[in-house]
Amino acid sequence: MNLKISESQLVKPQLIGKNLIIVVLFSIVGIQSCKYDVEEELYPSTPCETNAMSYQTDIVPILTNNGCISCHGDLATLDLNGYSDLKIYVDNEALLGSIKHRDGFRKMPDNQPKLDQCTIDKIESWIYDGALNN
Ligand code: HEC
């Protein structure tokens, strides 16, 4: 952004006071940054990649990084740690039901905000491809 303003372009400081100039300059910076935010939302720099999801390289890190495994480790009543344990909840639809906050399922992650849409899409895509142990 080019904010070069020469002395002569500015309204005479003695007429309107320094404070107003500062307010105006900050407003310009503010408006520019708002515009930037909106553009980022409209055109995300990293599109969501959901093709050919792998249990090992995609799904396990999602479950680990979102706290699922801390609550649903090997010792929990509902164990999501390991392919065969997780597959039970794929097959009975509780995994997708809980992360998509569907009626009849307990909303997961428990007492935390819903996973972002891209993360949900990755899990759904993996399930759609047959929930392979890949
Ligand atoms: C703070 C602890 C906690 C976290 C984090 C958590 N869960 Fe749970 N989850 C629970 C509890 C408690 C239950 C109820 C069943 C039980 O006692 O194990 C549950 C239930 C479930 C169920 C069964 C839902 C149903 O209605 O049948 C699934 C599937 C599940 N969690 C998946 C996940 C996934 C996937 C994540 C990560 C995105 C996650 N959970 C994160 C505590 C947690």
Residue 65 half-sphere exposure, CB side, CA atoms within 13 Å?
9
Q: How far apart are CA 134 and CA 121, in angstroms?
A: 18
Sequence ranges of the domains in the chain: 7-42, 55-128
- Identify the residue whose C-alpha is closest to ligand 1 atom 38: 109
- Identify the residue whose C-alpha is closest to ligand 1 atom 29: 95
Q: Are 32 and 102 in contact (CB under 8 A)?
A: no
Which tens digit of pLDDT belongs to each residue from 8-46? 555 555 655 666 555 555 555 555 555 556 666 666 578
With a 6 A CB cut-off, is 55 part of the ligand 1 pocket? no
pTM of the model: 0.75
29-33, 41-45, 97-101, 102-106: least confidently modelled range: 29-33
With a 6 A CB cut-off, is 71 part of the ligand 1 pocket? yes
Q: Are 132 and 57 in contact (CB under 8 A)?
A: no
